């Protein structure tokens, strides 16, 4: 089943995000290599400045159940290194494409 993982960054998270990013991407790439990632990426603070400040991340991926999705994100460097102030995990029903 697909699960939406939304992580909202804490206000002062830019240095922690930069430090955790390589390990975060390694974990995402491993999940993607298993064919489980439908989409993933950062949420820019300003739509007109995609290279600027980031306020969070969105991942839609296939996990066996909510517990598996929650365990995966709980072990992610963005959680363990204090980037996220809030994490939400919800079922996701893909309609398109």
HSE, CB side, 13 Å, CA atoms: give it for residue 96: 0
Q: Taking the model in full, what pTM does it have?
A: 0.94
Confirm if 27 and 19 have CB atoms less than 8 A apart: no
pLDDT digits (tens, 9 = 90+) for 77-87: 999 999 999 99
Longest dimension (CA), the chain: 37
Cβ count near 30 (within 10 Å): 11
Beta strands in the chain (DSSP E): 2-9, 37-44, 54-62, 84-91
pLDDT digits (tens, 9 = 90+) for 1-47: 999 999 999 999 999 999 999 999 999 999 999 999 999 999 999 87
């Amino acid at each position: 089943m697909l699960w939406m993982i939304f992580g909202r960054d804490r206000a002062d998270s830019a240095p922690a995000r930069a430090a955790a990013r390589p390990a975060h991407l390694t974990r995402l790439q491993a999940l993607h290599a298993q064919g489980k990632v439908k989409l993933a990426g950062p949420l820019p603070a300003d739509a007109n400045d995609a290279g600027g400040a980031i306020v969070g991340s969105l991942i839609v991926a296939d996990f066996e159940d909510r517990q598996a999705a929650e365990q995966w994100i709980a072990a992610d460097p963005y959680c363990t290194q204090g980037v996220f102030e809030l994490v939400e995990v919800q079922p996701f029903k893909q309609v398109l494409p």
